[in-house]
Amino acid sequence: GTKKKAACPGLGLFYTVLSAFLFSVASLFLKKIEDVHSVEVSAFRCVFQMAFVLPGLIYYKTGFLGPKGKRIFLFFRGFLGSSAMILLYYAFQVMPLADATVITFSSPVFTSLLAWIFLKEKYSIWDLLFTLFAITGVVLIARPPFLFGSNVTGIEGSYTDHLKGTIAAITSTVSAASTFVILRKVGKSVHYFLSIWYYAVIGLIGCVIALFVMNEWRLPYCGKDRVFLILIGLLGLGGQIFLTKALQIEKAGPVAIMKTMDVVFAFILQILFLNHLPTWWTVGGALCVVASSSGTAIRKWRQSLKKAKQNEI
């Protein structure tokens, strides 16, 4: 029979762009919050995710713990995923929006490296080249004094905060890449909602403990910050939904390439609403990271197409 045509060609790519825009606006609101710690913002985000996922768990009857043999993987997925979120929010608060976004965009490169180490997936010379490109981009953004001298320009606040934000963004990227490897290991044996449930529950528990240890828990002083907190939760949830829908109706390769719009939106929002012009070092670093992540996505996409053709034969 004839193949069923897509209802709307390009709809998956449109969902990807919309997801990138929602995530970028949520990051902008995070920059606008004045007196709320990044861990507390993460706790609010986890509460929104739990409220969204709970009806899905009940509807699909997945349970709350998952299969016995997969629970350890779900725990580490939740721990690493929530840690990546907290570190990313911290990076957004202490360094330029575009810089933090670009660093976290190197996640596909680290995913390939970790998949080679832990899942024994193939790691070619091209993967090594893309990894080096990503590392070069991160160095151009971090601009360590031993390479660029002591007079580092184009950063927010002190260089110490910039360095802390860079370390947090890199650690967040590696943690996010680790969650992708764990999800590959688990495969389709665990429902997507259950994975998000672990992410939200473990993240909320970790955030509450951290807030009490640091004595940072407090309600925002003004209504504006409270509105921003709600919007961050809603926009983050919306971005996650549209990205998931994009991956359901479109191949992963084009979605990964179109997701480079995250970087574009970050630059635009930073210039328009934060009055912070990116330096040429940041632009160069962004080009390196986007090239490496796009190259990785294109290569994986071509490999999947080639494998699909071989299976048909």
Q: How many CB atoms lie within 10 A of CB 22?
A: 21
pTM here is 0.80
The Cα 292–Cα 280 span in angstroms is 18
pLDDT at 202: 92
pLDDT at 276: 81
The Cα 252–Cα 179 span in angstroms is 17
Q: Which residue has the tokens 């910039």?
A: 162
The Cα 100–Cα 138 span in angstroms is 10
Buried b (16+ CB within 10 A) or exposed e, 150-183: eebebbbeeeeebbebbebbbbbbbbbbbbbbbb
List the end-to-end C-alpha distance of the chain, in Å, as a whole number.
18
Do you know the residue count of the chain? 313
Q: How many CB atoms lie within 10 A of CB 212?
A: 10
pLDDT at 4: 45
- Both structure tokens of 30: 């995070």
Q: Provide the residue-wise pLDDT of the chain in tens; the chain has 313 residues.
A: 444 444 566 787 888 889 889 989 998 998 888 778 888 888 888 888 888 888 888 888 878 887 787 888 888 888 998 898 889 888 988 888 888 888 888 887 888 888 888 878 788 888 888 888 888 888 888 777 656 666 666 676 677 888 888 999 999 989 988 887 887 777 667 777 788 888 889 989 988 888 888 877 776 666 788 888 888 888 887 887 788 778 667 776 677 777 878 888 989 988 888 888 888 888 888 888 888 888 887 777 777 777 777 776 6
Q: How many CB atoms lie within 10 A of CB 202?
A: 21
- Both structure tokens of 91: 């990076």
The Cα 300–Cα 306 span in angstroms is 10
The Cα 99–Cα 282 span in angstroms is 7
Q: At residue 115, what are phi and psi to the nearest 5 degrees?
A: -65, -35
The Cα 242–Cα 218 span in angstroms is 32
| Cα of 67 vs its chain's centroid, Å | 26
pLDDT at 156: 67
| Helix/strand/coil percent split, the chain, to 5 | 80, 0, 20
Q: What Cα–Cα distance (Å) separates residue 201 from each residue in 26, 75, 243, 260? A: 21, 10, 21, 29
